[in-house]
């Protein structure tokens, strides 16, 4: 018997919550255990139900999604938080990442994307919509890096340079040329970097670097 992924949805629009609930009903591997209309109610429901994943909007009162996410991550670190919002500006995306969200989706995402994001978050993997990925990549295309922060995390000097170049969206061939290493060696470095950062994609690495405060 498959144990469903337990989800709580937070949004201040009843119509939207009902729409998402209807979508999730079609996926037996996901159970929507409750719904919240604001951040305070969300915190109460998380404490009551201890879900696996939270889907939350950002702009809600009296407590918004930023603060709710910060408190959930602090008090219930086993709960994965995904932003599901109409806001796709750089500030909102970065603020949610820094609050501890593991994923970021815009409300026009396809239902399959929402479901895959829930499954990825449950596995401990980050998941971001294409819109969010493009925003952050553009934001830090000329990004500033703090090598000291990365050294503490166990990255060697070559890995630091590769991370910097990857987050600047530098082509793999150009990275290999600049570092005077082969394409195969670069692939090994990239694999090691992804494993240390706990991400699986280039976009995931960019978001990880932003969330950890190693780029701005």
CATH code at position 150: 1.10.10.10
Q: Is the pLDDT of residue 54 over 50?
A: yes
Which one of 91, 116, 134 terminates a domain? 134
207 in any annotated domain: yes
Same domain, 113 and 40: yes
In this structure, are 113 and 155 located in the same domain?
no
What CATH number did the domain enclosing 86 receive? 3.40.50.2300
Residue 216 lies in a domain: no
Q: Among 76-85, 92-101, 114-123, 207-216, whose mean pLDDT is lowest?
A: 207-216
29-45 residue pLDDT tens: 999 999 999 999 999 99
The structure tokens listed for 54 are: 């939270």
Q: Nearest Cα to 5, choosing from 146, 126, 122? A: 122
Same domain, 51 and 120: yes
Q: What is the pLDDT of residues 78-105, one digit of tens each?
A: 899 999 999 877 778 877 877 888 889 9
Domain assignment of residue 128, given as a range:
5-134
pLDDT at residue 152, rounded to an integer: 43
User: Greater confidence, 158 or 70?
Assistant: 70
pLDDT at 150: 47
Q: Are residues 122 and 27 in the same domain?
A: yes
Q: How is the beta sheet containing 103-106 ordered, strand by strand?
A: 30-36, 5-10, 53-56, 80-85, 103-106, 127-128
DSSP state for residue 60 in the 8-state scheme: -
pLDDT exceeds 60 at position 120: yes
Number of structural domains (the chain) is 2
């Amino acid at each position: 018997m498959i144990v469903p992924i337990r989800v709580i949805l937070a949004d201040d629009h009843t119509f939207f919550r009902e729409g998402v609930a209807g979508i999730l009903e079609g996926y037996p591997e996901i159970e929507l255990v409750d719904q919240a209309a604001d951040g305070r109610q969300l915190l109460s429901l998380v404490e009551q139900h201890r879900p696996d994943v939270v889907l939350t909007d950002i702009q809600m009162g009296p407590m918004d999604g930023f603060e709710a996410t910060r408190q959930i991550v602090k008090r219930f670190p086993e709960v994965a938080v995904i932003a599901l919002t109409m806001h796709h500006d750089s500030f909102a995306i970065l603020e949610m990442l820094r609050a501890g969200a593991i994923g970021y989706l815009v409300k026009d995402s396809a239902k399959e994307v929402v479901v895959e994001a829930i499954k990825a978050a449950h596995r401990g993997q980050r998941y971001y919509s294409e819109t969010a990925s493009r925003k952050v990549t553009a934001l830090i295309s000329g990004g500033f890096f703090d090598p000291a922060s990365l050294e503490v995390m166990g990255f060697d000097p070559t890995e630091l340079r590769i991370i910097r170049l990857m987050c600047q969206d530098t082509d793999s061939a150009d990275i290999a040329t600049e570092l005077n290493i082969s394409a195969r060696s670069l692939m090994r470095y990239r694999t090691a970097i992804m494993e240390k950062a706990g991400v699986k994609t280039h976009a995931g690495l960019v978001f990880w670097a932003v969330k950890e405060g190693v780029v701005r």
